[in-house]
Structures are given as structure tokens and as C-alpha cells.
Structure 1
Amino acid sequence: MKCGERGAMIDDQHVEQELPPLDTLAARLEYLFEKIRPTPEELGDSHEPGRKYTNREIADKINATAGETGVTISAAYIGELRRGVASDPRTSHIRALASVFGVNTGYFVDDAAARRTQEQLTLLSELRRMDVKQVALRQVLTDNGLSATDTQLIEQMVARLRAVAEGAGSGEDGAAPGDRS
């Protein structure tokens, strides 16, 4: 897990190649609940790391800034938005939700903005999951016209070469070091 904007943690346990459709406000909000997690500071010592935010925690974060923003929200209303029972929130609620999750307000109303945010969250997860050098290599290969399949094949070859090299150093693969024909 890694801190994103606003100090929130982003779940990096499952990076999906195919992004799920975000065709409703409920789907977009639920996606944020799935991907953005409380920071260790927010959890303290009493809670399990990596868990999702609760509706109450998000409401409390929004309500904590009510003196500055004038916006309050209930945990029950957030639950209704997540389930699609309520689907036409006030603009101030959209702004508050975007702020608390550290995303652009356009995420909730614009398909292109939602897709960009989704891709950015996926990339952040991938950056943490993989060595940043691999991500840079992928970008260079893509920029040079290689297909996603070719790029994946090269990444697999690099990973296999690393595994062989590590095995050679410890003699784990049964071959003598230097015996690489």
C-alpha cells in the first residue's frame, strides 16, 4: 500500500488489467472505497491495516471540515449513494467526497475524467507492486511502438533472467554459476 493524495492509502493487492465500468455515481463511489484505504495514522494501532473506509469514517472526515466548507453529510446518506438509492447529490457533497478521496470533482460527473482517475489509481497500484524500473521500461517500450503483448513478453523475459541470475548466485537452479549456455 502507498499513500496517495490527501494521505489516503491506495489498495495495491489486486491490479486489474481490465478496468471495471464506472457508469453510475454509485459505481464510481464504490470504486474509490475499493481502491483508497485509510492511512496507518488514521487507523492507529487498534485496526487492521489495509481495510476499507467505512461510511462513518468518510462522513466524519467531511464533517470535520464543515467549519471551513459548510458541508455536512451523514454516513447513511453515503451508504445510499454507494448503493445507488440516492443518485443526485448536491454539488457540495460531490466536492466534499472528491476532496476526502483526493480526486478531481470531475471524476463523479465526467466519463473521461473518471477513466483518467481510474487509470491513475491503477498505475499507482502497479508502481508499488512492481519495481519502478519495470514501469519505466514498459513506458519506453510502449512509446517505441511495441504492443502490450510484446511489452508483457519482454517483462516476463526480464523477470526470468533475474530469477536465473538469483538462482545462479545461490546455486538453487542446479546449474553451476557461470554455466549458462
Structure 2
Amino acid sequence: MSETEGQRLADRLEYLFTHVQPLGRRHTLQEVVDGIKSVEEPGGTSLSVGRLSMLMNGKAPNPTLGTLRALADFFGVPVGYFVDDAVADQTMAQLALISAMRCNDVRAVALRAAAVATLSAQGLDVVRGLVEKIGRAPRGPGGTGESHG
């Protein structure tokens, strides 16, 4: 693996550690290794914390396809994420959206938007009117549309 390829892999791993946080925080290297071991098949890929650290720093020589597959499975991304720029770009965009949704509680808005998509034209007009009315409402001390006083 060339220096550039090693760094590209390191950058993509870093992106996963930053954006795939089902525990509400960044995984530790040990958690990733343990997670991979928990689903490891006999004769399958084994990964140590030291080896993962080397991958994260761009200093590991050619990771095996098994290692890439195990990392992809752990983080829930396609294995192509590590080797194909187009797959990586698409996956990163999806992860960024999920991360933003998690941070801003957009999930509820997205679910509501999906429900709105099934409304009739008249129903959409009602929703638009409500959104405009809410947007014009005075902000209360808590940052909500409620007035306290």
C-alpha cells in the first residue's frame, strides 16, 4: 500500500469513527476489535488494537480483504467504501446526513416530511400555512414559539 493509499484508508477510518457513533460517543479501538471478534468465524479475520492503530495512522502495510470486510461490517458500510472513491463519497454523504439528523433531532422532521409527502394538495396547503404561522410566532425565553409572560 503506498503512502497515499495508507493515508486514504486512515482518513476513511477516521471518518467512520467520527460519524458512526451508536453509543453517542466515539468508539474506542478496543471496542472495534472486540466487536469484530464477537462475530468472527473460525479461521476468519482477527484484528488487534495495535494493527487497527497502525491502520488509523496510515502506517499499516496492505490490509487484507478480510480486514477491510470486518471493518466494513462493524461500521455498517459497504466494503467498497475503503477502495472505491465513488462508494466512499456516497457513504460519507449518507453518514453525514445521519449524523446531522442525530445531532439536530431531524429524524422527527424527516418522518413528518415523509408523512406530508402523502398529503393531498389541500393538505399540503394547510401544512404550509401552519409552518408559516409558526415561523412568524414570537419566540419565548426558552427559544420556543411560546410566549411566557
Runs of 4+ in structure 1 off by over 6 angstroms are none
2:45 aligned residue (60, 71, 75) = 71
CA–CA separation in structure 2 for the residues paired with 1:88 and 1:136 = 45
Q: Does the 8 Å contact 1:25/1:84 carry over to 2? A: yes
Larger RCO of the pair (alpha carbons < 8 Å, separation 6+): 1
Task: Give 1:87 deviation, angstroms.
Answer: 4.6
- Give the Å deviation of 1:51: 2.3
- C-alpha displacement of 1:127: 3.1
**Could you tell me whether the CA contact under 8 Å between 1:66 and 1:72 is conserved in 2?**
yes
Please give the secondary structure, in 2, of the residue aligned with 1:67: coil
Q: Does 1:170 align with 2:147?
A: yes
State the match for 1:37 in structure 2.
21
- More helix, by proportion: 2
TM-score normalised by length of structure 2: 0.67
The change in CA–CA distance for 1:115 and 1:171 in structure 2 (over 3 A counts) is: same
Equivalent residue number for residue 43 of structure 1 = none
Residues 69 and 96 of structure 1: is their aligned pair in 2 closer, same or farther, counting only changes over 3 Å?
Answer: farther
- Tell me the distance in 2 between the aligned counterparts of 1:101 and 1:36: 7
Map of 2:97 onto structure 1: 123
Q: Which runs of 5+ in 1 are unaligned?
A: 1-22, 40-49, 141-157, 173-181
CA distance in 2, matches of 1:69, 1:105: 20
Deviation at 1:64, TM superposition (A): 1.5
SS in 2 for 1:79: helix
Structure 2 residue ranges without an equivalent (≥5): 1-6, 118-130, 140-144
Measured at CA, do residues 38 and 171 of structure 1 come closer, stay the same or move farther in structure 2, by a change above 3 Å? closer
- Matched residue of 1:28: which SS? helix
TM-score (norm 1): 0.56
Structure 2 counterpart of 1:98, from 62, 72, 86: 72
Aligned residues: 120
In the alignment, the residues of structure 2 paired with residue 103 and residue 69 of structure 1 have an alpha-carbon distance, to the nearest angstrom, of: 23
Distance 1:135 1:116 in 2: 25
CA RMSD, Structure 1 to Structure 2 (Å): 2.9
Flag the 1:105–1:135 CA change in 2: closer, same or farther, 3 A: farther
Say if 2:62 is the partner of 1:88.
Answer: yes
In the alignment, is the contact (CA less than 8 A) between 1:98 and 1:104 conserved in 2? Answer: yes
